[in-house]
Structure 1
Amino acid sequence: MANKVDIPLRLVLEDEEWLSDVRLQSIFDALTASGATVRVAGGAVRNALLGFPVTDVDLATTSPPDEILHLGEKAGLRTIPTGVKHGTVTVLSVSTTPLHVEVTTLRRDVRTFGRHAEVAFTDDWLADAARRDFTMNALYCDRSGEIIDPLGGYRDLIAKRIRFVGDARARIAEDFLRILRFFRFIAQYGEGPIDPQGLAACRELREGLDGLSRERIRQEWWKLVAADRAEFVVEAMADAGILAHVLKSDTDLNAFKRHIKIESFLQLKPDSLMRSFNLFPCRGADVKLLRERLRLTNEETTRLERLMAAGRVTPKLRPAERRAVLYRLTPPTFRDAVLSSWAQGGEPTEDPDWAALYRLADDWQAPAVPLGGRDLLAQGIPPGKEIGALLASLEDWWIATDFKATREELLAKIPAMRQFQG
């Protein structure tokens, strides 16, 4: 049953620094000069009401795009016709650190087909709100912070209930990415059970995800998988047969859930890459596959390749072995290897031995090798491949001594090693 909420007749955002920012207010000044109505739309209002950071501000106006361009230029602002066909102009404030704001003319849908729609400009705020995805995104506020709520979305917002605007199937058919956005919003902003009508529509139309670009999927997935309710939402997506269409793979929910619990136990920030890695049953066995599915960056791909080369790292290693493995892997890969080994195993997710192994990367700093190429040259060894091979062998022996061998001991080891290698 939906929560009963007493909604004030007039709600005002007060003491919001982003709203009182002189750069934003200068844009309001420019765009209202002709008498048009201009309001902040969607995400900024939603986040401010929920207490989340406001990082991007979008404005909606009754002015058509050509008038937005004219008014902005007249006020000395920089304007960019980023999407004039769909009513959007980017406006930059005049300052040493310009504020970028997307300004969009109110629209109503004439025809919709997938991600794109044929729109007509309007001055009807209700019609504009009716074409948005979720009720909590159909909120506006004026420059003083007064909330305008054409569809009653405020009730859903304070109940943290994610609902599609109007008919869920119709909203999804306009853009199938909204299936993933629905679950991402639940993970980031929601509480309580999933809206049954929205869930049913997502399940019914899930095959529409197959036609989306992997770049668009990654953008939503990266936020979803790092959100507070990721565990609950990912399992719900799996149960509804939706997750397979997102990741194009079977999944290992157990390792995924364990990884999240381990992150919480160690007080780590959510790691979208490692969470996704442990969700894939194939994991890095085919890093190229994972890269294609999630459009991994070169840096992310290299990180997983190093992790796969590291192998399993467990508390069964003796202290000297732990230090040797940490030295060879480097701290970042060592931490990844411990976390993935822990998540994929059966040990408790609050195991102190595993925690101590993970923290070794912070508690122990590897010493520098006390011998270098110049030392070998000083011993009369000619430049070339022999020096590189000798240095590698000497380093291996130094590691085997638990990093205790001195420079003098390493120098004394050279004749025997040269004889062995020769």
Structure 2
Amino acid sequence: MWSRILKPRVIGRTAFYWRSLFTMQLNTSEFKSLFSEGLKGLAELFGKHQHELRIAGGAVRDLLSGKRPDDVDFATTATPEEMKQMFQKAGIRMINNKGEKHGTITARLHNENFEVTTLRVDVQTDGRHAEVEFTTDWQKDSERRDLTINSMFLGLDGTLYDYFKGYEDLKERKVRFVGSAEQRIQEDYLRILRYFRFYGRVAPEPDRHDPKTLVAIRENRRGLAAISGERIWTELKKMVVGNHADHLLELMYSLELVQYLGLPPDGNVEEIKRVWQKAKDHSPKPMTILAALFRRPEEVERMDLRLKVSKEEKTLALFLVKYRQELCKSREEPDSLKPFTDFIIDSRELDTQSKVCELLKYQGEEKLHAELSGWSVPRFPVNGHDLRRMGITSGKEIGSTLQDLRDVWKKRGYQMDKDELLSHVKS
């Protein structure tokens, strides 16, 4: 049910919202499955000390969508100091309390970690970080969150607490900022990318954006320059493997965001649209999709300078840019896996097979990808010791002979054993 809904009043640039609370009961199997011995113990402890404890944010969104969340965050009216005293008195171990200054305490009960955060309000923000003040007001904490669908709380009795029509937006599959889009973005410019990521998760159609939201994003795009590359990549790599990724990347180009993200200004948008359509149903790695934007290896290097991607991700991007044309054009027969397996056999890198699998996803070669995924790299049965025992002692001759034998072995489909191969040396 909804309680009385009133419009916000604005003082300066900050909107102060009057009470507008929607509540309902949730009693699904996904919700019930969360109640492990650890959570029961946590709930009992907070109840004993008369502190409210609720599930917060993304876990609530997932539960309302009929999904069991992978991670569950909790919010409470207890301060960090009150939580510490409570856990210490109960003999409960606390771990990884780096988030304490922001109100987060992690407790370990029954071999489970529970991250609990005190309700907060942002006192001051610079677009990257916020100075917070603790509160006991659930709506004020909800007010400071990014999107309406992420601003809800769920009591452990199944009561939903929704102050900004998040449940209604979730049912209608809308993605909206809480209150003013401009204000939410200026509190943390990374929310621009979070908007796109969640649009891909929630919206049923590629182009149902509120024009005012896109205006706010465009006008505040420069704020992304101050966001760390690691934070940007965390959001971007989730977005590029989600729904509507081709549309969203094209939109990001039209809104002139890419220069702040390390992506090439003349990125190949048409190629990424083609690749995403072919690869989206085959669990591509984020870089498999994003590599379609790059026309030259130097663009991968510039992207890495900005985003600080992992060595594995950078290597995959460079591999795809180099071999997406060269390797695929080398096939004499369209459905032949042989050029790819030969390439893997000849490679000295350990993860070549996984890279070639991503290349086949990139090219939309579903059948070949399925075959290569189930293929085990055969071991070449001859080595230098075998040739020395036959009287070949020159290192140069051993090397050339091994290469000749390897070529014969590949032509015979990697089926020849050691004796068969060595017979070629004798002959």
What SS does structure 2 have at the residue aligned with 1:198? helix
Tell me the equivalent position of 2:106. Answer: 90
What SS does structure 2 have at the residue aligned with 1:151? coil
Of residues 262, 276, 280, the one that matches 2:278 is 262
Tell me the equivalent position of 1:334. Answer: 356
TM-score norm. by structure 2 comes to: 0.82
Counterpart-to-counterpart distance in 2, 1:62 and 1:247: 41
Of residues 377, 387, 403, the one that matches 2:388 is 377
Which letter does structure 2 place at the counterpart of 1:181?
A: R
Counterpart-to-counterpart distance in 1, 2:397 and 2:42: 68
Runs of 5+ in structure 1 lacking a partner? 1-6, 343-348, 417-422
Tell me the equivalent position of 1:147. Answer: 160
Q: Contact 1:224/1:230 (CA < 8 Å) preserved in 2?
A: yes
Counterpart-to-counterpart distance in 1, 2:201 and 2:400: 53
Of residues 49, 54, 71, the one that matches 2:64 is 49
Query: Where do residues 13-412 of structure 1 align in structure 2 (5 Å cutoff)?
Result: 13-15=27-29, 16-80=31-95, 81-93=97-109, 95=110, 98-192=111-205, 193-250=208-265, 251-264=267-280, 267-282=281-296, 284=297, 287-307=300-320, 310=323, 312-314=326-328, 317-319=331-333, 323-329=338-344, 331-340=353-362, 342=363, 354-359=365-370, 361=372, 368-382=379-393, 384-400=395-411, 410-411=421-422
Shift of 1:384: 3.9
Q: Contact 1:33/1:71 (CA < 8 Å) preserved in 2?
A: no
Which letter does structure 2 place at the counterpart of 1:84?
A: E
Which letter does structure 2 place at the counterpart of 1:154?
A: Y
Could you say if the C-alpha distance between residues 167 and 239 of structure 1 is closer, same or farther in structure 2, counting changes exceeding 3 Å?
Answer: same
Q: Contact 2:22/2:165 (CA < 8 Å) preserved in 1?
A: no
Counterpart-to-counterpart distance in 1, 2:418 and 2:199: 59
1:100-119 Cα offsets, whole Å, 9 max, x none, are 22212212232322222232
Could you say if the C-alpha distance between residues 306 and 253 of structure 1 is closer, same or farther in structure 2, counting changes exceeding 3 Å?
Answer: closer
Tell me the equivalent position of 2:350. Answer: none
Could you say if the C-alpha distance between residues 72 and 190 of structure 1 is closer, same or farther in structure 2, counting changes exceeding 3 Å?
Answer: farther
Counterpart-to-counterpart distance in 1, 2:22 and 2:152: 15
Shift of 1:87: 1.9
What SS does structure 2 have at the residue aligned with 1:247? coil
Counterpart-to-counterpart distance in 2, 1:45 and 1:381: 71
Counterpart-to-counterpart distance in 1, 2:256 and 2:169: 26
Q: Percent identity?
A: 33
Counterpart-to-counterpart distance in 2, 1:155 and 1:103: 26
What SS does structure 1 have at the residue aligned with 2:107? strand
Which letter does structure 2 place at the counterpart of 1:278?
A: A
What SS does structure 2 have at the residue aligned with 1:161? coil
Could you say if the C-alpha distance between residues 149 and 313 of structure 1 is closer, same or farther in structure 2, counting changes exceeding 3 Å?
Answer: same
What SS does structure 1 have at the residue aligned with 2:196? helix
What SS does structure 1 have at the residue aligned with 2:98? strand
Shift of 1:47: 0.9
TM-score norm. by structure 1 comes to: 0.83
Counterpart-to-counterpart distance in 2, 1:259 and 1:237: 17
Which letter does structure 1 place at the counterpart of 2:161?
A: I
Could you say if the C-alpha distance between residues 279 and 11 of structure 1 is closer, same or farther in structure 2, counting changes exceeding 3 Å?
Answer: farther
Could you say if the C-alpha distance between residues 18 and 42 of structure 1 is closer, same or farther in structure 2, counting changes exceeding 3 Å?
Answer: farther
Could you say if the C-alpha distance between residues 143 and 405 of structure 1 is closer, same or farther in structure 2, counting changes exceeding 3 Å?
Answer: closer
Could you say if the C-alpha distance between residues 407 and 218 of structure 1 is closer, same or farther in structure 2, counting changes exceeding 3 Å?
Answer: same
1:283-318 Cα offsets, whole Å, 9 max, x none, are x45543343344222222333444455452336722
Could you say if the C-alpha distance between residues 376 and 71 of structure 1 is closer, same or farther in structure 2, counting changes exceeding 3 Å?
Answer: same
Q: Contact 1:314/1:357 (CA < 8 Å) preserved in 2?
A: no
Shift of 1:36: 1.7
Shift of 1:253: 1.5
Counterpart-to-counterpart distance in 2, 1:399 and 1:84: 60
- Would you say how many aligned residue pairs link Structure 1 and Structure 2? 393
1:7-33 Cα offsets, whole Å, 9 max, x none, are 985232433244322211211222232
Q: Which moved more, 1:194-203 or 1:307-316?
A: 307-316
Counterpart-to-counterpart distance in 1, 2:130 and 2:416: 71
* Residue 26 (structure 2) pairs with residue 12 (structure 1): yes
